[in-house]
Amino acid sequence: MPENTKPVVGFIGLGDQGAPMAQAIADNGYELRVWARRPESLKVLEGHPHTVAASVAELAAACDVIGLCLRTDEDNVQVATEGGLLANMRRGAVLVNHGTGLPQEARHLTELAAPYGVDVVDAPVSGGHAVAVARQLTTIVGGDSQVVERVRPVFETFSKEVIHVGGAGSGQFGKLFNNTLMMMNHKNVLDVLRLAADLELPIPSLLEVLRSGSASSFALQAIGPSVTSENVHHLMPLELIDMGLFSGAVESLGTAAQPVIDRAVAGAQELDQLTTLVGA
């Protein structure tokens, strides 16, 4: 049997998004090592080849690439520093941040890793849980181009597209601009359908026209299949968190970004009204 020359991949953060990503990595022939604060989190990997590390330090020492899919920038820094991740990673290893956060913090993590000889890539993903399960995510990458090419095959295990935007922090900018435009489009859909309702037009038939015609967008297509009355109140606060991040990411622009921010925030705040209007 030929020796496996693929890099050993570590993963921390087995939530709705991270779990199917880790599964895809393992199923594509990479030696996967994982660590979790709560042992019950590891159940999602049953049936997928993996090794559980006893500690962050043990994981760090064994891996060539380590992906983090954690909730906040603060979580990343805590694991990387206080958790001992950077101190135990090999020189030349790559640390990947798959979470959504501030571009400024992505650059900060790169700076923290530099003294250890560890390369950092910010690679947030777009598509949600169902798309992650289908292994059709869009992975939006910021970092040194040579480092990105080294880890691209890992990303391709769970992605339909891997897009290198630019240097450190660019992946986060790409993700936040993507999310912001989607929320603005939700507001556009709601405004148009409210007018249609006032005219007593049949909303289901009109939706079919909009989804099939030149007005279609991902935001429009998602109402019903991905955004429903059952999950909308879970999605709304997450979208507002993203808008807080976007506001922080573009604060150097002053008031120039405010109209965009206001419309996107309105789209997030009124998302439940959209699902009600279309009966999703």
Domain boundaries, the chain: 9-167, 174-278
CATH architecture of 9-167: 3-Layer(aba) Sandwich (3.40)
| 142 φ, ψ (degrees, to nearest 5) | -125, 140
The pLDDT averaged over each successive group of 10 residues in the chain (280 residues) is 80 96 98 94 96 97 98 96 96 97 97 98 93 96 98 98 98 98 97 96 95 93 90 95 97 96 98 93
The pLDDT score that the predictor gives to residue 154 is 98
For residue 60, CA distances in Å to 6, 64, 98, 151, 245 come to: 17, 8, 17, 16, 29
Domain 174-278: state its class.
mainly alpha
pLDDT at 1: 46
- Quick one: pLDDT at residue 130? 87
Report pLDDT for 225: 85
Tokens of 235: 């999605």
CA-CA-CA-CA dihedral for 124, 129, 134, 135, to nearest 10: 20
88 near 30, Cβ under 8 Å? no
Show the tokens assigned to 206: 């009109």
Rounded Cα distance, 31 and 105, in Å: 29
In contact, 97 and 106? CB cutoff 8 Å: yes
Contact 190, 177 (CB under 8 A): no
Prediction pTM value:
0.93
* Cβ partners under 8 Å of residue 39, min gap 6: none
Predicted confidence at residue 226, as pLDDT, reads: 86
- How far apart CA 130 and CA 104 sit, in angstroms, is 29
Predicted local confidence at residue 2, as pLDDT = 55
Neighbours of 89 (CB within 10 A): 27
